[in-house]
């Protein structure tokens, strides 16, 4: 994260917060600001190269905080901008409510699998085939606890070990809802493996390099071909998710468990963006992102929040860190 600058944009709280260097690295500056939610959205939409048509489908609530990361480019020029997290509010991201002012009965929750035995930072190398480490097990349990307040109808996951184990934990906690006092009757959750959610083990770059690969011009390189393969399979995966939602009036909540890389691609598919935009978003292990469909699965999805980690407790990734913490980091 060295050389990176960060900005926190919050809305409606009336209080300005001091950004910390852990968001930006050790040799950079950062800023934070409080603004009306429309002004806040306009600010980061402009920086992330998103047009005004995204105002209604990337939600920014009152008292919500969104975080941008700025990474300097080699040779100068404008920094690369990444939406580190979207619309972090004091409330749970899965709490019932409206999206863009409209009630919704269809929801997809993108749950990133827990950390694995050989995960280094947020790499894509081999993570799908490695089992969860102790941190990953805790992250899975924390995610399952967060989702206990939702009556999940179905879970789709990658067949790979870490994603499947995370999904199994979520499913077991859901089905024990009556014993845990979260429901008065047992829940039945349909769990399926979806091949399109797999991620190639040969992909050996980090999320922050997605944009570099897509824009490098090395169209024949192994990295580019692998990224292109991931992007192409995400189209089929996204359609499969929409089919699972069912186009009717019933309430349906679907949890999708996979590696951060495939979940990033699904967010871009939801927003009808190109592969190049994968580097414009960021997801951490154990994070939650929520997409609502107020117009049903045939309408556009509204991204309610991305990269929520507060449910992980002491293992959450804070919006800001102190200078002292950053030096240790």
Residues 71, 54: Cα–Cα separation, whole Å: 23
Query: Residue 204: which pLDDT band, with cuts at 50, 70 and 90?
Result: very low
Residue 61's nearest CA partner among 86, 27, 79, 28 is 86
Q: What is the mean pLDDT of residues 91-97?
A: 81
Q: In the predicted model, is pLDDT for residue 127 greater than 80?
A: no
Q: What is the mean pLDDT of residues 74-86?
A: 84
Q: What is the mean pLDDT of residues 220-236?
A: 83
User: Roughly what angle, to the nearest 10 degrees, separates helices 161-175 and 134-147?
Assistant: 40
Q: How much is the pLDDT for 104?
A: 83
Q: How many CB atoms lie within 10 A of CB 302?
A: 23
Q: CATH number, domain at 306?
A: 3.40.50.1240
40 is a domain residue: no
Q: How much is the pLDDT for 39?
A: 45
Q: What is the mean pLDDT of residues 278-284?
A: 89
Residues 183, 33: Cα–Cα separation, whole Å: 41
84 is a domain residue: no
| 1-37 residue pLDDT tens | 444 545 555 555 443 333 332 333 333 344 555 444 4
142 is a domain residue: yes
72 is a domain residue: no
Q: How much is the pLDDT for 184?
A: 86
Q: Are 280 and 83 contacting, i.e. CB atoms less than 8 angstroms apart?
A: yes
212 is a domain residue: yes
Q: In the predicted model, is pLDDT for residue 41 greater than 60?
A: no
304 is a domain residue: yes
- Strands of the chain (E only): list them: 5-11, 31-35, 65-71, 80-88, 98-99, 102-103, 106-112, 154-157, 190-193, 252-258, 288-292, 302-308
Query: Residue 227: which pLDDT band, with cuts at 50, 70 and 90?
Result: confident
Tell me the CA distances in angstroms from 205 to 153, 277, 278, one per residue in order: 34, 16, 13
Residues 45, 149: Cα–Cα separation, whole Å: 32
Q: What DSSP string describes 164-208? A: HHHHHHHHHHHHTTTTTTS-SS----EEEE-GGG---TT--SBGG
DSSP 298: T
27 is a domain residue: no
Q: Could you give the number of structural domains in the chain?
A: 1
Tell me the torsion sign for CA atoms 126, 117, 67, 272.
positive
Backbone angles phi, psi at 29, to 5 degrees: -115, 165
Q: How much is the pLDDT for 218?
A: 52
SS3 44: helix
Please give the mean pLDDT across all residues of the chain.
78
9 is a domain residue: no
Range of the domain at 285: 98-328
């Amino acid at each position: 994260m060295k050389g990176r600058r960060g900005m926190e944009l919050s809305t409606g709280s009336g209080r300005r917060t001091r950004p910390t260097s852990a968001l930006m690295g050790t040799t950079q500056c950062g800023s934070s600001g409080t603004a009306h939610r429309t002004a806040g959205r306009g600010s980061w939409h402009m920086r992330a190269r998103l047009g005004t048509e995204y105002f209604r489908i990337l939600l920014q609530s009152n008292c919500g905080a969104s975080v941008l990361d700025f990474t300097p480019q080699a040779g100068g020029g404008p920094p690369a901008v990444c939406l580190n997290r979207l619309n972090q509010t004091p409330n749970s991201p899965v709490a019932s409510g409206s999206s863009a002012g409209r009630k919704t009965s269809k929801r997809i929750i993108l749950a990133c699998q827990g950390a694995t035995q050989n995960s280094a930072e947020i790499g894509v190398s081999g993570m799908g085939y490695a089992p969860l480490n102790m941190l990953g097990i805790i992250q899975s349990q924390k995610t399952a606890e967060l989702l206990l307040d939702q009556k999940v109808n179905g879970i789709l996951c990658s067949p790979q070990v870490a994603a499947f184990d995370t999904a199994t934990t979520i499913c077991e906690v859901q089905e024990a809802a009556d014993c845990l006092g979260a429901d008065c009757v047992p829940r039945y959750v349909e769990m399926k493996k979806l091949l399109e959610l797999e991620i190639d083990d040969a992909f050996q770059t980090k999320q922050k390099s997605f944009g570099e690969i897509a824009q490098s011009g090395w169209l024949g390189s192994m990295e580019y071909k692998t990224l292109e393969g991931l992007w192409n399979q995400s189209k089929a995966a996204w359609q499969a998710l929409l089919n699972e939602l069912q186009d009717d009036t019933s309430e349906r909540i679907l949890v999708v468990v996979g590696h951060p890389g495939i979940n990033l691609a699904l967010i871009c598919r939801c927003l009808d963006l190109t592969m190049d935009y994968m580097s414009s978003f960021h997801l951490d292990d154990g994070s939650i992102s929520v997409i609502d469909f107020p117009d049903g699965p045939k309408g556009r999805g509204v991204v309610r929040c991305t990269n929520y980690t507060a449910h992980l407790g002491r293992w959450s990734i804070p919006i800001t860190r102190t200078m002292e913490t950053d030096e240790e980091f």
